[in-house]
Structure 1
């Protein structure tokens, strides 16, 4: 593949760059909404996963998604409550990541990018974050119409970046995505979302681009 020969340092967003809720209970707490009938929520996991995947690939509008989740839960939560939890899911940026991304972007021999499974409303909220503004290239599932860990998502990123698999260093907090990226030929490193994500990235980059 012809194109820019510089390596690409690529980041997942949630769990690497941006702190997020990890459960419905956390989301409700962040939104100030009482947790109700949690067993019903757990029973509907397969249906909700399909809806989230459809949202993440741009196949359903946010308002329709909120209504669909409410309907799936038999109205235990109203569409407005689902919207509030969804909007409260983002908890801000991890410390030190903005400085790391800014430093990488200022290096002539490196390109920075993100490849995130996300959706319109979360994307709009994150676009104002200094960390996202520090990224040179931004790619998201709802814009690509493709979602990790599908190989087609990684291929679409390569084409957009005009990069070969061997040029890409990728950081994600999900084992499934890491395994898929490695199978594609990317150098992929798993990040522990409970720890200092910036320090973990720096350690992996030491001797490579830092």
Structure 2
């Protein structure tokens, strides 16, 4: 059942909003301690890299299939274990101040959630981080079987949380996800992942009169 009650639900993307991630293949390689001079990159995979990522993101394949598939897609330029290391290095850590910001929002009586395009390996790593522990609801593409910006994920999230679309304030760093959320009736705010994301969140909620009241 979807409730049309008065309190808002504040929902966050993870990568680029609460969690700092690598933004390029080269950055991921560097963080994993691997060299880029092997003659292969995801852009050179003829779409197979993207297909594997999309399948992993919606939980259609497991870790082993994903990393072995990437090894094949790269023609052996990188091993499955090297892809696993790159993948692990891709998530860098929480943005400074986001955990404190979420605790402030909880203290103001707000209900908090996440809706992220992610995967099993990253999810297991992030679940224990302070920002994610501060959330009341945790939802992700690999658990829901669908990814943003597919309209179905926004509907499934609203149904799972029992919150009407008009009561959801959503923060994401990608234009296509913001557009889809707005089409679903959500109040969507684009975050600049290069800036102070905690300040952007608090500022947008203050503008909406969402701080200090449930």
**TM-score, normalised by the number of residues in structure 2:** 0.94
Give the corresponding residue for 1:140: 140
The alpha-carbon deviation at position 49 of structure 1 amounts to 1.4
Per-residue CA deviation, residues 148-193 of structure 1 (Å, 9 max, x unaligned), is 0000000000001111111000000011000110111111011010
Q: C-alpha distance in 2, partners of 1:66/1:96?
A: 33
Contact conserved, 2:21 with 2:90, CA < 8 A, in 1?
A: yes
Contact conserved, 2:4 with 2:164, CA < 8 A, in 1?
A: no
Give the corresponding residue for 1:69: 70
Give the corresponding residue for 1:150: 150
**1:34 and 2:73 are equivalent in the alignment:** no
Partner of 1:206, secondary structure, is helix
Partner of 2:47, secondary structure, is helix
Give the corresponding residue for 2:93: 92
Q: 1:146 to 1:41 in 2, by over 3 A?
A: closer
Q: How does 1:111-122 map to 2 (within 5 A)?
A: 111-122=111-122
CA RMSD of aligned residues (A): 1.3
Give the corresponding residue for 2:130: 130
Q: C-alpha distance in 2, partners of 1:2/1:66?
A: 39
Contact conserved, 2:57 with 2:119, CA < 8 A, in 1?
A: yes
Contact conserved, 2:3 with 2:164, CA < 8 A, in 1?
A: no
Q: C-alpha distance in 2, partners of 1:60/1:172?
A: 25
The alpha-carbon deviation at position 82 of structure 1 amounts to 0.3
Q: C-alpha distance in 2, partners of 1:4/1:103?
A: 24
Consecutive unaligned residues in structure 2, runs of 5 or more: none
Give the corresponding residue for 1:81: 82
Q: C-alpha distance in 2, partners of 1:69/1:95?
A: 32
Give the corresponding residue for 1:21: 22
Partner of 1:131, secondary structure, is helix
The alpha-carbon deviation at position 51 of structure 1 amounts to 0.8
Q: C-alpha distance in 2, partners of 1:184/1:90?
A: 29
Consecutive unaligned residues in structure 1, runs of 5 or more: none
**TM-score, normalised by the number of residues in structure 1:** 0.95
Give the corresponding residue for 2:186: 186
